[in-house]
């Protein structure tokens, strides 16, 4: 292996863990990795293979950049985060002679998850000693202060999937009980994080994994029945958490009231609003803005528009917080219109087809995780979400593209 390639692989492995602990390292690492790739390319040590997948991500970025022209309040910092749409597809377009060390990258990610758990418990204990029982120190954002709980949940789910399907270096060679202990630890963190999307994705992941595992012996009918049983057992266990149970009950109650009379619901609540209550109101406002602006409001314009809606409906305190719609599909349509949404859906479909073609069960599960989170969060708005999802989507698809030639390390 050439020296440049060895350095590149080492830095790539380190990056997959260190950025989760030190977010400011994202840009320096990407710049260095790209410079190494370009330098090696000039020496004929790798090949640059550009495909439609990369082009679509870059087209999405171009749309965001152009939307600054018609945005009433252009957000240049948000566009900076969108640079991941260009950086990671570009980075993984360089195909080296040796296989991508994806199992070791996954190991680096998993180690970072363990460190984040230690930091979370430390922060929660410090909160408890300082403030006592006056706040919920072991739940939601008090527990997960480095990353928003939803993104922390996504990180953990990615490691759980890797452990289930034996895709993580070191763990894939050790007795299975070691992986199951770690799966149990990562799963139990969702009681602290209290994110409904994370719990739903976790249960679906375990159910699908179990169905795949027993389908060969019992057949798909029995495995599906077992999966349904496990799903309800998982829901029952999840509801033993007061946080998750309250969140689920509120979601059901609010949804029922909303269905009965949407117009009355969005204008009859009282501040402060609860999470799922606010989400339904934001979704309604987003749909109305999409109807009024089918080409989008431009990057940075959506938050102001939603804020005006909230003020008109009698929620001035919520308007000051400049919320996004907490739904990535609505977020994209609000910002860059139906064309942006179409491109994003094509990208997701393309990823799913790649996973099916390569018979990669985890790839399909990863897409499921992304879609579930996209339904409840604007996951590609914050640095944590955009770096995580775009990096791994690009890395996995680049690996699948070269799988016929290379094997995993």
pLDDT one digit per residue (tens) for the chain, 409 residues? 889 999 999 999 999 999 999 999 999 999 999 999 999 999 999 999 988 888 999 999 999 999 999 999 999 989 999 999 999 999 999 999 999 999 999 999 999 999 999 999 999 999 988 887 667 899 889 999 999 999 999 999 999 999 999 999 999 999 999 999 999 999 999 989 988 889 889 988 988 888 888 776 676 676 677 767 777 777 777 667 666 676 667 777 777 878 888 888 888 888 877 767 888 899 999 999 999 999 999 999 998 899 898 899 988 888 888 888 989 999 999 999 999 999 999 999 999 999 998 889 999 999 999 999 999 999 999 999 999 999 999 999 999 887 644 333 3
Query: According to the model, what pLDDT value does residue 13 have?
Result: 98
Residues 348, 371 contacting (CB under 8 angstroms): yes
On whether the CB atoms of residues 75 and 331 are closer than 8 A, the answer is no
Question: What pLDDT sits at residue 159?
Answer: 98
Does the predicted TM-score (pTM) go above 0.85?
yes
Task: Locate the domains of the chain by residue range.
Answer: 248-409
Residues 6+ apart with CB under 8 A from 127: 135, 137, 142
pLDDT of residue 293: 94
383/78 Cα distance (integer angstroms) = 9
Q: What is the pLDDT of residue 244?
A: 66
Question: Are the C-beta atoms of residues 84 and 360 closer than 8 Å to each other?
Answer: no
Q: What is the 3-state secondary structure (H, E, C) of 289-319?
A: HHHHCCCCCCCCHHHHHHHHHHHHCCCHHHH
Written as six digits, the tokens of 310 are 């909230």
How big is the chain, counted in residues? 409
pLDDT at 51: 85
């Amino acid at each position: 292996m050439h020296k440049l390639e060895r350095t590149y692989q080492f830095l790539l492995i380190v990056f997959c863990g260190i950025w989760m602990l030190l977010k400011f390292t994202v840009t320096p690492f990407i710049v260095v990795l790209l410079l190494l790739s370009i330098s090696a390319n000039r020496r004929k040590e790798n090949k640059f293979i550009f495909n439609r997948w990369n082009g679509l991500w870059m087209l999405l970025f171009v749309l965001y950049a152009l939307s600054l022209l018609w945005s009433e309040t252009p957000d240049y910092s948000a566009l900076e985060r969108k640079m991941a749409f260009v950086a990671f597809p570009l980075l993984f377009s360089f195909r080296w002679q040796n296989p991508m060390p994806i199992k070791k990258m996954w190991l680096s990610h998993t180690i970072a998850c363990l460190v984040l758990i230690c930091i979370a418990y430390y922060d929660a204990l410090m909160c408890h000693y300082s403030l006592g029982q006056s706040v919920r120190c072991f739940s939601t954002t008090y527990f997960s202060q480095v990353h928003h709980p939803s993104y922390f949940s996504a990180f953990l789910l990615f490691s759980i999937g890797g452990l289930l399907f034996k895709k993580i270096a070191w763990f894939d060679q050790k007795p299975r009980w070691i992986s199951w202990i770690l799966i149990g630890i990562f799963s139990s963190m969702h009681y602290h994080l209290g994110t409904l999307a994370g719990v739903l994705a976790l249960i679906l992941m375990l159910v699908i994994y179990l169905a795949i595992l027993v389908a060969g012996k019992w057949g798909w009918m029995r495995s599906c029945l077992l999966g349904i049983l496990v799903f309800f057992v998982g829901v029952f266990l999840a509801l033993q958490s007061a946080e998750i149970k309250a969140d689920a009950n509120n979601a059901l109650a609010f949804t029922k009231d909303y269905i009965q009379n949407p117009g009355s619901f969005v204008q009859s609540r009282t501040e402060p609003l609860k999470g799922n209550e606010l989400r339904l109101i934001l979704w309604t406002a987003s749909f109305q803005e999409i109807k009024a602006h089918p080409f989008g409001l431009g990057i940075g314009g959506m938050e102001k528009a939603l804020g005006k809606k909230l003020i008109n409906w009698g929620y001035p305190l919520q308007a000051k917080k400049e919320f996004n719609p907490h739904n990535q599909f609505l977020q994209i349509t609000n910002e860059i219109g139906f064309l942006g949404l179409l491109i994003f859906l094509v990208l997701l479909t393309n990823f799913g087809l790649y996973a099916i073609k390569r018979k990669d069960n985890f790839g399909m599960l990863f897409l499921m995780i992304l879609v579930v989170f996209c339904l409840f969060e604007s996951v590609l708005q914050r640095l944590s979400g955009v770096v995580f999802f775009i990096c791994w989507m690009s890395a996995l698809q680049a690996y699948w593209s070269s799988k016929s030639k290379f094997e995993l390390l």
